[in-house]
Structure 1
Amino acid sequence: AKVLFKTPFAGKLLVTVERNQVLEHHYLETDNKSAEFTFSLGDEHLPNAYVTATLIRPLDNSNLPLTVAHGFASVKVEEEDTKIPVEIVAVEKSRSKTKQKIKIKTARNAQVTVAVVDEGILQIKNFQTPDIHGFFYQKRALEVNSHDLYPFLFPELSLASTSSVGGDGYDLEKRINPLSNGRVNLVAYWSGQIETGLSGEAEFEVDIPQFSGDLRIMAVAYKDNAFGSNNKNMKVADPIVISTALPRFLSPTDEVIVPVNISNTEKTAANVTASIAISGKLSAVSQVAQRLSIAPEKEARTYFTIKAAEAMGNGSVVVTVNNGKEKFVEKTELTVRPAASLLKASQSGVIAGGSTATIDLRGNDFIPSTVTSRIVVSRSPMVQYAKALDYLLGYPHGCIEQTISKAFPQLYFGELAKTIAPKTYLVKAGESDFNPTFNVQAAIQKVESMQLPNGAVSYWPASTEESAWGTAYATHFLLEAQRAGFEVNASALGRMLDYLTTKAGTAATEYDYVYNETGGYTQLRIASRTTMYSLYTLALGGKANRASMNYYKQNQQLLTLDTRYLLAAAYKQIGDERSYKALLPADYVPPVGARGLGGSFASPIRNLALTVNTLIETDPNNLQIPRLARRLSEAMASSSYLNTQEAAFSFLALGKLAKKNANSTATAKMTINGKGYQFDGKELIISTNSPLRGLGAASGKGSVYWFAQTEGISATGTYTEEDAGLRVRKQFFNRFGQPISTFRQNDLVVVKISLSSTDGSPVENVVVTDLLPASFEIENPRLTEPRDMPWIQAPTVPDHFDIRDDRISYYTTATSEPKTFYYMVRVITKGTFTLGPVSADAMYSGDFRSYSGGGKVKVD
């Protein structure tokens, strides 16, 4: 390689050839502000090397202020032997439902992989065929820094410079359709690794399914240090191509007019018979066979009418076209999904030795085919809270609070969770059982992935907004997980503790609300519960913030009953017995307050549960523990609803106590739906597909605990319209902002969702879910004042939203001022359809809810 240097002045030139190290160096004399250098290229220079130059000017009487100059350039190096030619031999056109052999010709004894993928899939992200040679032989960065000593030799000039490397400098189970099918069959095949052998050829056979379109065949090959790749397209088309326009789902009793497009790809006319066959939860309403005449290379359309049954489930629509010579078939799977959410009914109780109990969960209007019932019998007193734990483990949202709340209890009741929650909410690949150990480790990894640069964690994945309470909660979880033997990233945990130290160093207050005698709320200024929880967590982690602890110790008027326990426990953790005893209340008499729906998520039950958990961890022999645990158990039993914070901390506290007990020898005979079962001490699980009714009789020392649950979907699809703390409404508009109530196929409809709180107070963590009719298809869920719709004013930006085929969910805070969300739908199918209600509820309180706007929709 020959290199030409152009220099700003004459002098001595130090030339190096570098990349990750200095490969060679030379000195040249420059004359007439230029120099030339030649060096030999070898394998060590692949795929590129850098030639650097440092020019030194002799110290003379020149007025030029420069004494040194630098420069570098990359030299691209190629070796033909590193490239492997790859040839793909395959037919250019194929019919569907056939097998095609693809032959790859390349170097002998090379390793080859072949991928065959629908071009439609590849176009979603403009996927390019991999250039494997370009990847392994791409330009590498210069990894050598150059320095000179001129600042030390001539400090009065201070003109030396440093060259540096080039470059830019140093990322809902209960709120989704519970039914699914295999309707969407993606065409994407991969061969795995194939060896060409001595012939230099390899074959891969593809079974092309029901498909019409373009397939891209991509092949990559390598041998030693040589690489190659290529691609080729294969067009898949039949003489007769069928395209059935069905919606993605139906609801019970929906009636849909199905257009079927039939394309004749041949150069002669075709006289065909089109017929439809229905199975599963569907039935045909119109004529099932029709005759058509289609011109060459043209298409024709015919219509069929089908209806969904009253039951939920899957069905199939098979369209067959016979042109007299052969039959062409297209099969489409279609789900009949519920028009309302899945409903549950449950009971729990205890049977003391020598007594009996009746279990009865009938009386619901569930569709028989959707009913699933289960009863769990155990000696563990925790099984009476299985309803709450099962609900907790199945919470559908992916925020930091619920991620931790689902995993935290499993640190201490893995086996109980495995017994009462056999449904695999989160299962490691290859395992079929509920796996609490894996769930905890997965939660740890998710928590660590949500950490921000300042050490805090965000509330939602991919969000950049820190959550102070979420960080304290996450730190507490990681500390207990680490103590339980789970692997925790020490750096991530350390940064969380540092963040809490900084956050807790600032005195912060908030307002608490408790019921007064008139039935209203009294507002109290208190120390921030997030700060107090952070101080306890810091002490638990060995990094107590003594200064902040002393501040609140001197300002006890800011402390509530539960935060006094937290601060006392923090002192106990650092060995300050005197402060612990001075702060610890003599008894815990919780005030009656409202649930907190955000911030620290405070509530009477959560605060009591956190207090019990804190005492058990800090002072396990404290005489208050049995009394407070009994109060907590009673509070849980009397509450019709536990949010995730209440459930998580309650299970932590009571679970740690339960592990120390369980000397029961009680057994029981159970008669469920006429069949007998024997409980001998090991957890007994009985499952059935009908509503539960039975009798249990216990004997022996101790008691037997049971939990029963029946779930299903309402046969009528009815719901009660109500506004309890929230008000949500749905309206339809055309693109000009005019309200509409009738719909025609291909209409573009703007859906407006309005949300507000009914009493004027803010309600945090509200989920708004709008169920669509089967005739609608979401077109633009992020609609925000487009140019041709100026009537849309100030749409609300949600904190988070989730889009599905049949529904859209928004996550936000409701206030007295209505919030509005807009999205567009396209009316795609004619017929009569069920319009699901729009619902709003607070994730952490069942007291706040609203349901509105269901009915029927007819599309002409």
Structure 2
Amino acid sequence: MPAELRPNREVEVKVQVKNSGADTYLTLAAVDEGICQLTDYSVPDPFTFFYGQRRLSLSSHDLYGLLLPEVEGMTTQSTPGGDRDFLDGVRKQNLNPVSLRRVKPVSLWSGIVSPNPSGEAIVKLALPQFNGTLRLMAVAFDGQRFGSAEGKTIVRDPLVLTPTFPRFVAPQDRFTVPVAVFNGTGQAGEFKLRLSAEGPVTLESEPLVTLKLGAEEEKIAYFQLKAGQGMGKLRFRLQVEGNGEKCELEEELALRPPVAVTHEISSGSITQKEPLTFNIKDRWLPGTATYTLALSPFPTVELAGGLEYLLTYPHGCLEQTTSKLFPLLYFDQLLSAVEGGTFTGNADYYVTEGIEKIEAMQLRDGSFAYWPGGNNSNEW
């Protein structure tokens, strides 16, 4: 096994199995050493698996869980404060819908390989973009015979790039990307660093930077960029050349929507002679839109969307809770229009819950705090 490998290449790893036979098979795994340390993973040991001590294989069960009544979860998305939402639905609505993997783990597996008659096998591994230590773990078996071995190797380029991109940007954001360049070629030289981008983003500084580095020296270059209009993934490619060596690195950055989650409600009437068409604008981020259609012979269905928004309003200060409760005193009959939606029960449930929430905000002197958990009252 070579002591050092380079990324973005296909490498061959030689595995030698002693005393192999016709039915000998092996597997080889190459995993980032950081992942192995975080998960406390070690090479599979067949001896421990087959001959290790076993705990008593008994499992216990009880009926205590059946003795207590079921406690239903909260049926509203109301939160105790403006920025303290704890319900999963509210949290997911406010997550960045542009998802990407900033760190791509390296975990390669050869599958089952049969060595040649001399017990030798050549395993090809396609190394991705990676700089670090790989742990190689081999396990071989032949009938009732088995064994394992492991080793470590370093994967790196003579020129190492370390960019620092933000986690996300919004449209029209200006941001700076520092890029550290390390010269591991063993001699001083002049190195050219270039940044190119794909997507709605503009490079406001020069795309090419020249750095003079000594042996084992590192310097940082800075690029100024501006995000454009739109949403999605921004892709960047960094290239550095010098002393006969070349290194490339690709990164992705999320360009998030400029606004939070948006709800749009449309309603109308339909007859046999007059069809109804909803012109839903194609301005939603693909994969994030959810549509709900409600039909009812009663005209109150037109208020269903407004009622649902009223019941699931995500903030809960004193004024907001009070404003939310007053309409519910008169809209009990409208719940039938949204039956089967995101909530159950009747208006009495929501009114009672709101009153209890207001009572919880009352202070010792009889006044009310503006937010749950507050100690100061506001006479307005």
TM-score range, shorter chain: 0.5 to 0.7
Distance 2:45 2:286 in 1: 51
State the match for 1:816 in structure 2.
372
Distance 1:246 1:192 in 2: 36
Distance 1:380 1:190 in 2: 57
Q: 2:118 matched to 1:199?
A: yes
Opposite residue 130 of structure 1, the aligned amino acid is P
State the match for 2:173 in structure 1.
254
CA contact (8 A) 2:158 2:245 kept: no
Per-residue CA deviation, residues 776-829 of structure 1 (Å, 9 max, x unaligned), is xxxxxxxxxxxxxxxxxxxxxxxxxxxxxxxxxxxxxx973239xxxxxxxxxx
Deviation at 1:198, TM superposition (A): 3.1
Distance 1:331 1:249 in 2: 16
The SS at the match of 1:307 is: strand
The SS at the match of 1:345 is: coil
Distance 2:284 2:2 in 1: 52
Deviation at 1:260, TM superposition (A): 0.7
Select 2:136's aligned residue among 193, 203, 217: 217
Opposite residue 309 of structure 1, the aligned amino acid is G
Q: 2:343 matched to 1:644?
A: yes
Distance 2:185 2:206 in 1: 28
Q: 2:291 matched to 1:291?
A: no
Per-residue CA deviation, residues 684-723 of structure 1 (Å, 9 max, x unaligned), is xxxxxxxxxxxxxxxxxxxxxxxxxxxxxxxxxxxxxxxx
**Structure index of larger Rg:** 1
RMSD: 4.0
The SS at the match of 2:273 is: coil
CA contact (8 A) 1:761 1:815 kept: no
Deviation at 1:139, TM superposition (A): 2.6
Select 1:116's aligned residue among 20, 30, 35: 30
CA contact (8 A) 1:282 1:316 kept: no
Deviation at 1:199, TM superposition (A): 3.2
Q: 2:152 matched to 1:233?
A: yes
Select 2:228's aligned residue among 306, 309, 314: 309
Select 2:257's aligned residue among 338, 342, 345: 338
CA contact (8 A) 1:133 1:226 kept: no
Distance 2:285 2:41 in 1: 44
The SS at the match of 1:233 is: strand
State the match for 1:137 in structure 2.
51
Opposite residue 100 of structure 1, the aligned amino acid is V
Distance 1:295 1:520 in 2: 71
* Aligned CA distance change for structure 1 residues 314 and 646 (closer, same or farther; 3 Å): farther
State the match for 1:761 in structure 2.
360
> TM-score normalized by structure 1?
0.32
Matches within 5 A, 1:682-831: 759-761=358-360, 816-818=372-374
* Aligned CA distance change for structure 1 residues 638 and 306 (closer, same or farther; 3 Å): same
Select the structure that is richer in strand. 1
The SS at the match of 1:193 is: coil
Select the structure that is richer in helix. 1
Q: 2:99 matched to 1:188?
A: no
Deviation at 1:333, TM superposition (A): 0.8
Distance 1:339 1:818 in 2: 32
CA contact (8 A) 1:346 1:361 kept: no
Matches within 5 A, 1:446-845: 634-637=334-337, 643-646=342-345, 759-761=358-360, 816-818=372-374
Opposite residue 272 of structure 1, the aligned amino acid is F
Opposite residue 305 of structure 1, the aligned amino acid is Q
State the match for 1:98 in structure 2.
9
Aligned residues: 302
Distance 1:94 1:312 in 2: 38
Opposite residue 340 of structure 1, the aligned amino acid is V
State the match for 1:128 in structure 2.
42
Distance 2:371 2:223 in 1: 48
Deviation at 1:321, TM superposition (A): 0.8
Distance 2:198 2:144 in 1: 56
The SS at the match of 2:34 is: helix
> TM-score normalized by structure 2?
0.67
Opposite residue 91 of structure 1, the aligned amino acid is P
* Aligned CA distance change for structure 1 residues 141 and 211 (closer, same or farther; 3 Å): closer
Deviation at 1:181, TM superposition (A): 2.6
Deviation at 1:195, TM superposition (A): 2.6
Distance 1:91 1:260 in 2: 29
The SS at the match of 2:270 is: strand
Distance 2:145 2:206 in 1: 63
Opposite residue 374 of structure 2, the aligned amino acid is P
Opposite residue 180 of structure 1, the aligned amino acid is S
Opposite residue 111 of structure 1, the aligned amino acid is Y
* Aligned CA distance change for structure 1 residues 375 and 129 (closer, same or farther; 3 Å): closer
Deviation at 1:196, TM superposition (A): 2.8
Distance 1:217 1:127 in 2: 12
Opposite residue 761 of structure 1, the aligned amino acid is A
The SS at the match of 2:134 is: strand
The SS at the match of 2:254 is: strand
Deviation at 1:140, TM superposition (A): 4.5
The SS at the match of 1:134 is: helix
Per-residue CA deviation, residues 403-431 of structure 1 (Å, 9 max, x unaligned), is xxxxxxxxxxxxxxxxxxxxxxxxxxxxx
Identity fraction in percent: 28
* Aligned CA distance change for structure 1 residues 303 and 815 (closer, same or farther; 3 Å): closer
CA contact (8 A) 1:760 1:816 kept: no
* Aligned CA distance change for structure 1 residues 91 and 371 (closer, same or farther; 3 Å): closer
* Aligned CA distance change for structure 1 residues 340 and 308 (closer, same or farther; 3 Å): same
* Aligned CA distance change for structure 1 residues 224 and 338 (closer, same or farther; 3 Å): same
Per-residue CA deviation, residues 28-63 of structure 1 (Å, 9 max, x unaligned), is xxxxxxxxxxxxxxxxxxxxxxxxxxxxxxxxxxxx
CA contact (8 A) 1:312 1:370 kept: no
Distance 1:132 1:345 in 2: 59
CA contact (8 A) 2:180 2:218 kept: yes
Deviation at 1:316, TM superposition (A): 1.2
Distance 1:244 1:110 in 2: 45
Distance 1:111 1:380 in 2: 66
Q: 2:242 matched to 1:323?
A: yes
Deviation at 1:190, TM superposition (A): 1.4
* Aligned CA distance change for structure 1 residues 643 and 376 (closer, same or farther; 3 Å): closer
